[in-house]
Amino acid sequence: MAMYAAPPAMKTEVFTRIPDRYRKAGQLSDERLRAGKGTRATDSYIEGPSFDRQGNLYLVDIAFGLVFRVSPAGEVTQLIEYDGEPNGLKIHRDGRIFVADHKNGILLLDAEAGRVTPHIRRARTEGFKGPNDLFFAANGDMYFTDQGQTGLQDPSGRVYRQGADGYFECLLDNVPSPNGIVMNPAETMLYVAATRGNCVWRAMVLPDRSLTRVGLFVQMSGGAGPDGMAVDQAGNLYVAHAGMGAVWKFSPRGEPLLRIDSCMGHMTTNIAFGGQDNRDLFITESETGSVLVARMDTPGQPMYSHAG
């Protein structure tokens, strides 16, 4: 981004935080500790913000297998604790809640019963590396990233599509750490955050839903790399820059238009538009277990959960 002038910056404010009663300091598993995914001081690691039609915000905690629901007033309720690593969450138009779980594949969450059930365990008999995030297109197709421990040393992360008709395919198999995934409003372009490549890829989506002309859309630097993403109704792309404490707004041409700075920690992991007019950008900041919010000029593109 050094080829462009620094964009204007704005600050966030705290919407809510994970209450102390749901935090688990000193309880991080030895497996995650050995993998360098946190320390004994880690007490939460929130991700996957997504709104239902009632204005409730859903969050996941990948470190401790938790899912939360946050009321419009910011009151946090734990829905479930299970043996998993929930990383991304999206809500279907029919109300079903899908979870991309790094350990267990794609799951369905029954929020009222407090249980999860498998939806996709494997890719045609082959195990996943570790699903990260997901996105629903307007026709009901589900796209999701399979990140695992891929990176520049092993650029074999994958992007999958499960069609609304059940057809399943691998679209990309060479991404260094695929993470956030989203489409432009016309759904002619697919954006994939390549975290450990510190960049965002863009691919043209053909009428048959295959991808072509895959290229590098934005090259970033610093921090841990791009994480969750969102788009607004003008086609601008918002990218959570984990480790940098910021969310960047890019034009459809890739020009940096705005830097949204965290008022808390530096682990800005994911984002979602919400609020009554869909102009409030909600940001998960995982270092402090906080949800931040900033007011945008342009409404976010409605998610599939709010379609129809």
Residues that are catalytic: 227
Instruction: Tell whether 169 is in a known binding site.
Output: no
How many whole angstroms separate alpha carbon 130 and alpha carbon 117?
17
- Contact present, 291 and 15 (Cβ < 8 Å): yes
- 110-283-205 Cα angle (round to 5): 75
Cα 34 to the chain's mean position, in Å?
Answer: 24
What size, in residues, is the chain? Answer: 308
Q: Biggest alpha carbon distance in the chain? A: 52
How many whole angstroms separate alpha carbon 78 and alpha carbon 95?
19
How many whole angstroms separate alpha carbon 178 and alpha carbon 226?
10
3-state SS assignment for residue 222: coil
Number of C-alpha atoms within 13 angstroms, CB side, residue 199? 13
Instruction: Tell whether 132 is in a known binding site.
Output: yes
From the list 47, 28, 31, the residue with the least C-alpha distance to 39 is 28
Instruction: Tell whether 126 is in a known binding site.
Output: no
Across the beta sheet with 211-219, the strand order is 178-183, 189-194, 199-205, 211-219
How many whole angstroms separate alpha carbon 167 and alpha carbon 77?
36
Q: 298 phi and psi, to 5 degrees?
A: -110, 135
Containing H/E element for 30?
Answer: helix 30-34
Instruction: Tell whether 43 is in a known binding site.
Output: no
Binding-site entries for substrate: 132
Give the residue ranges of the annotated binding site.
Answer: 47, 132, 179, 227
Which residue numbers belong to the known binding site for a divalent metal cation? Answer: 47, 179, 227
